[in-house]
Amino acid sequence: MRKNKRDELVEKAMETFYRNGFHATGMDMLVAESGISKTSMYKHFKSKEDLILAALGLREQQFHDWSTKRVSELASEPKDQLLALFDVLGEWFREDTFKAACSSRPALSIRSPTIRSTSNVDSAHMLSGVLALVEAAHLKNPEALARQLLMLQEGAIITAHFGNSDDPAGEAKKAAKALIDAAS
């Protein structure tokens, strides 16, 4: 299916935001890089915030689709899939294009209630996926365990971003295994 102009703009904006950061990337830069007029840009997006939200949505969807596929390729049982989540993070961290979770970067750097709210929705979406696996694995205290596992994932992402460990996903996986074993 052919992408429309709006989708192309969102993809280009996501690349530019990733490369330059959310603060450093202005609408003038996005207009120049996309090769369209300001009028056309503002026809599709009323503000930079609207464009950031669209880019975050695209990134979250791409990452969710890829990670869900990889987890199911690595493991078939829910308990094993919980651990495979950390293997998938490790794969992501080793990519040349790895950047810290796109949704957390603008939420921390831009004082926008809308962007913060979107980041919260993304975290809630991740939590519901982990909770579904915990419940399918019939583990004790599913809500608490799912939150703990998500915290390990998010901590591994931050640690990988700042380079404070050679294997943040592996270390988080060991902690996750201990939590899962205790809940079995």
pTM exceeds 0.85, yes or no:
no
Percent above pLDDT 90 for the chain: 49
φ, ψ (nearest 5 deg) of residue 4: -85, 175
Topology of 57-183 in CATH?
A: Tetracycline Repressor; domain 2 (1.10.357)
Q: Are 146 and 130 in contact (CB under 8 A)?
A: yes
φ, ψ (nearest 5 deg) of residue 63: -65, -45
Give the model confidence (pLDDT) of 77-108 as tens digits.
999 999 999 999 999 998 877 764 444 455 55
No. of helices (H) and no. of strands (E), the chain:
9, 0
pLDDT given at position 120: 56
pLDDT given at position 130: 96
Count of CB atoms within 10 A of residue 164's CB?
9
pLDDT given at position 23: 79
Residue type, 30: L
